[in-house]
Amino acid sequence: MKDKAERNNFNAITLLVKFLYLLGFFLICMFILIVSVTINDNSINEFGNIGDSISGITAPVIGLMAVIVTFLAFWVQFEANQELRNDIKLDRFETKFYELLRLHQHNVSDIDIASKFIGRKAFVKMYHELRFIYAFVEEQRQKWNLAETPKIKNNKKAFMEVAYTIFFFGLREVANGKLFYQHSLHTPLFIKIQKELKILKKNSKTTKGNEIVYDLKAYSQSLGKVTWKPSYTPFQGHVSKLGHYYRHLYQLIKFISTNQSLNLKFKKKYAYIKIVRAQLSNHEQALIYFNSFFNAGNIWWRETNENFKNEKNEVISYFLDYRIIKNLPFNLTRFGPDPVKEFSDFLEQRGRDDREINKELKEAFEWIGG
């Protein structure tokens, strides 16, 4: 913005200099013309009339010049004041942005599992817990289909929804029936998953020295045999850790993407989003992606406030428009809904053709075709 103000001032000064050059050229021409006419008329004795002639001709011009110079001075000052206001707004915006970013970093460092795993290490452990629960859900679905009816289709979104619900709220909270939440899975199977997971947790508990550990095993269609040996009590839920983390991250992203006071262009907003995204570890991005299939996390795909639009007048998608997750590591998304398919489906809902979809997918997942 400072560069723009300097350009405006420079343009105004350049215009003024050009005007003065033209005025000087005009006055010289007028002087020569009047002298020439006076001499040709043999009125050299009336040379004093030259001054009167020049004065009469140039006085209005000089007056006009004074008006223009005054206007340009006010205009330059007005532009400078406008730029100063914009600079103040930008400073306030960036001050709040970096304060929110600092709070996000503080939230990450505050996440703690059993006083053993802190910060980003905790996200790694939470990722593995969600991975095991998902594998267990798939295993129970396979067992159900062998012995029970109706046969449950391979709905990875529904499986992730259930797995994330247990992961987020904890097995006890989900099983006691006090929570009200929506899920797409056959309810008797959901109840069976809760009971079987509770039994597995109890039976897999062992002691290693002075430490209690769990030896948990499941077999899933997506992952094959999955073994998980946590050194903390599993399935306790992470709502107290992740609830605040997600809310604050959403507010930070929304603060940037929906800001209207500065009239920021998309590229400028995206530059700030990239700074936020750079703070996210691979496991954080994976958990944010899986969170989007949980009821409260759907907002990552589509903003609930339909007044917030992108440059194509579409309701904002924080995944597609601002790419708060990008280049999701393929090895971390081998289970659950396939990110490439989910992104493709959403782009198709937006009316994109195959060429546009492929282009946007390559920008979101640069490893595609690599």
Coil, helix or strand at residue 351: coil
Q: How confident is the model at residue 23 (pLDDT cuts 50, 70, 90)?
A: low
pLDDT at 196 exceeding the cut of 70: yes
Grade residue 370 by pLDDT with cuts at 50, 70 and 90.
very low
Over 50: is that where the pLDDT of 94 sits?
yes
- Tell me: pLDDT of 280 over 60: yes
* Mean pLDDT score, 3-9: 55
**Which pLDDT belongs to residue 86?**
76
Q: How confident is the model at residue 369 (pLDDT cuts 50, 70, 90)?
A: very low
Beta-strand pair 205-208/211-214: antiparallel
- Which of 127-136, 165-174, 308-317 has the highest mean predicted lDDT (pLDDT)? 127-136
pLDDT in tens, 54-65: 566 667 766 776
Q: Write out pLDDT tens, residues 65-85.
A: 677 777 777 777 777 777 777
In tens, the pLDDT along 29-59 reads: 766 666 665 555 555 455 556 556 656 666 7
pTM of the predicted model as reported, rounded to 2 decimal places: 0.80
Q: What are the backbone angles phi and psi of residue 118, rounded to the nearest 5°?
A: -125, 145
Among candidates 330, 312, 122, which has minimal Cα distance to 236?
A: 122
In angstroms, the CA 272 to CA 264 distance is 11
